[in-house]
Amino acid sequence: MALDVTIGQYYGTGSVIHRLDPRAKLLFVLTFIVSIFVAKDVYAFAFLALVVIASVLISRVPIRLVLKGLKPLVIIILFTSVLNIFLTRGEELLFTKEIIKDFWTVNIYKEGLINAALLALRIIILLMGTSVYFSYATTPIELTDGLERGLAPLKKIKVPVHEFAMMMTIALRFIPTLIDETIKIMNAQKARGADFSTGGLIKRAKALIPIIIPLFVSSFRRAEELATAMECRCYHGGNGRTRMNVLKMKIRDYVFIFLSLTMLAGVILINIYANGYKLL
């Protein structure tokens, strides 16, 4: 189904990665993303790929599940790579052909191919790494909890951190619900002869009305019910609210943060000293 989404797909195995403090994981993902964009050298990419593979193995999330999460983005990955093959200029020309005289010549350089491969690798590593730490090994609740606690100092300058985290929790929580609902409504309208796949653009857009309106109506209804339910349980914002599970950094979390920083330093060092192919 086109609506396969991996966000919020927790896969509990109880591994070390699952048990880490979400703040440590947030920090890791932050350094991980920075590392990926800092990385220029082939060896640096190889190193980051190893980090991702090791993470998947340690988290004991089936690799097939992680790869399946990439599926919706295959097109984007292919598109960026192909663009790079054609647009990169380098030194070693592999192929050239004049398509329109004096106007458009296709040149494919060796550097273009390598660049395309590295860029694809960069996106894949990025997606796999973040999805393992953020969706498979961390529940949305933990994630927003970590975010709220991690950003708590910002409350001092009147940033509504709690409200922001609560909104994120609710949004994440309702993604699967909304997907389910969309499928149900689509089926109901198909049963009445709706046709979403033929006809021109306008006809197709019109065919969506019978889906979008009920979806909006039920979202508003849900929002209202949720607000009432929260009020009934005396929710009144973050002030004075206590928690059942208070986050506490343990030694392993500090070790993990140390490793994250080491990873970033490692990537920078490889960039400087290694002599592999460098991304342009």
Interface residues with another protein (CB under 8 A) are: 11, 62, 64-65, 68, 181, 184-185, 187-195, 209-211, 213-214, 217-218
Confirm if 5 and 175 have CB atoms less than 8 A apart. yes
Q: Which residues contact 147 (CB under 8 A, 6 or more apart)?
A: 22, 26, 165, 168
Geometric angle at alpha carbon 77, from 42 and 271, rounded to 5°: 20
Closest to 84 (Cα-Cα) out of 58, 107, 55? 107
Question: Between 6 and 84, whose beta carbon lies closer to another protein?
Answer: 6
Q: Which is nearer to another protein, 68 or 89 (CB)?
A: 68
Residue with smaller CB distance to another protein, 70 or 268: 70
Q: Compute the least distance from the CB of residue 218 to another protein, in Å.
A: 6
Residue closer to another protein, measured from CB, 9 or 107:
9
Nearer Cβ to another protein, position 159 or 217? 217
CB of 268 to another protein, least distance (A): 38
* Nearer CB in complex with another protein: 11/277: 11
The vertex-13 CA angle with 182 and 253, nearest 5°, equals 110
- Residue 72 or 153: the one with the smaller Cβ distance to another protein is 72
Q: How far is the C-alpha of 244 from the C-alpha of 49, rounded, in Å?
A: 37
DSSP E strands in the chain: the ranges are 93-100, 104-109
Q: Are 94 and 114 in contact (CB under 8 A)?
A: no
Find the shortest distance in angstroms from Cβ 228 to another protein: 18
**How far apart are CB 187 and another protein at their closest, in Å?**
5
Q: Are strands 104-109 and 93-100 parallel, antiparallel or unpaired?
A: antiparallel
Q: Work out how close the CB of 111 gets to another protein at its nearest, in angstroms, rounded to a whole number.
A: 39
Tell me the closest approach of the beta carbon of residue 177 to another protein, in angstroms: 13
Residue for token pair 């019978």: 210
Q: Which amino acid is at 63?
A: I
Q: Exposure of 22 by Cβ count < 10 A (0-12 exposed, 13-18 middle, 19+ buried)?
A: buried
- Return d(Cα 222, Cα 230) in angstroms, integer: 12
